[in-house]
Structure 1
């Protein structure tokens, strides 16, 4: 049976000189007929804790841990899915033709979406709008993904308008935080963030610093090696 899914994409530490070692692109996907109830349930979680801020990884700390813990637990209880592609920025060689840092914006999104889209279904893909160059990037993304007739809509949204983009931000933040700890870049002293990483680890029962098997559809990571 043909179904329609919405895919909400976001980026984390993706800028060239932001001081972070990894670039992450990820999404949260949901069947279109489940969107309304999921929005209501996440809204109820926020109301339960009196939380009015945007859901973001940078907002995870001791006082907000209860709501973020429940949010992540909620994700694993539902049919929502998460996928991210990750690359070590030190592997990007800007001297190599067609492998400039800007090119990676499009290559990462191609890798993010290409392998997980089922051609029997239809998809609406939403991207978190970042800057004034967004419309040009959207045009190029359409060109990169024009082979895929299952993608029926490309559109930008603002993160504060989409709880699913916000959820993608939180899950990517957990992955990125764990990678930075493993790399020795940080000591992981923010206990609340380490607890969120632990919750993700417990639910997935996979390594969070390597590519997951293809059959892991609920929570899928793909580490791109450029060497």
Structure 2
């Protein structure tokens, strides 16, 4: 079966700044069967039309006058059940040892990207992965990530990993929204009574639980809080 994966990140300065804005680096991924791509894009387009919401979909743009639009985007995500899945990784800066990554934050970032993706690549499938465009010091980061995923998933095909500008790719934008929802809980930035709080509450109500790190078998909305200091 052919799948597509759309990815985005939040708080990348956790790996590069002495004073990052948040505790957790978050990298997110939206997974769907290739055959559903166009249908989902059409449905998002219909929501845009109804709400006259033509700007880029982003967690940072959730506001009172756009609350209903973003709540309905959450409903759309939920409506596909396990045919539309989200997974993110949360990296705790207080446990981070960059010496394990040659003191290279960019290298560490792509190692965590690998951990995000690898565990959801299943046998006998083909995957196309799309990342938000990012300026890398080393231009070989994505080819190396592709090679590593391919070599550790020999019975699956990693057809490509491409970087694309998020403002042109609505499914990367949807990933940004879902990642923002997860990050607001993990980084404890959510304020009660706000439009963002309403969006988060809509998803938590649909899932039947508050957002928190999940078991690795959680399939619909998976939050992987990596344990950098070991343990069970």
* Alpha-carbon separation, structure 2, partners of 1:187 and 1:33: 35
* SS of equivalent residue, structure 2 residue 216: coil
When you count helix as a share of all residues, which structure comes out higher? 2
After TM superposition, give the deviation of residue 119 of structure 1 in Å: 1.5
Q: CA RMSD in A?
A: 1.9
CA shift in 2, pair 1:136/1:179, >3 Å: same
Q: Which of 112, 117, 122 in structure 2 is aligned with 1:118?
A: 122
After TM superposition, give the deviation of residue 187 of structure 1 in Å: 6.1
- 1:70 is aligned to 2:72: yes
The alignment's TM-score, normalised by the length of structure 2, stands at: 0.87
1:82 alignment counterpart: 86
- Extract unaligned runs of 5+ from structure 1: none
1:124-172 deviation line (CA, Å, top 9, x unaligned): 0111102254743212312332313421112111101111100110011
The alignment's TM-score, normalised by the length of structure 1, stands at: 0.89
1:170-208 deviation line (CA, Å, top 9, x unaligned): 011011112232xxxx46156111111111211223442
* Alpha-carbon separation, structure 2, partners of 1:134 and 1:218: 34
CA contact (8 A) 2:185 2:211 kept: yes
Q: Which of 149, 174, 194 in structure 2 is aligned with 1:191?
A: 194
Structure 1 runs (4+) greater than 6 angstroms displaced: none
After TM superposition, give the deviation of residue 102 of structure 1 in Å: 2.5
What is the count of residue pairs matched by the alignment? 220
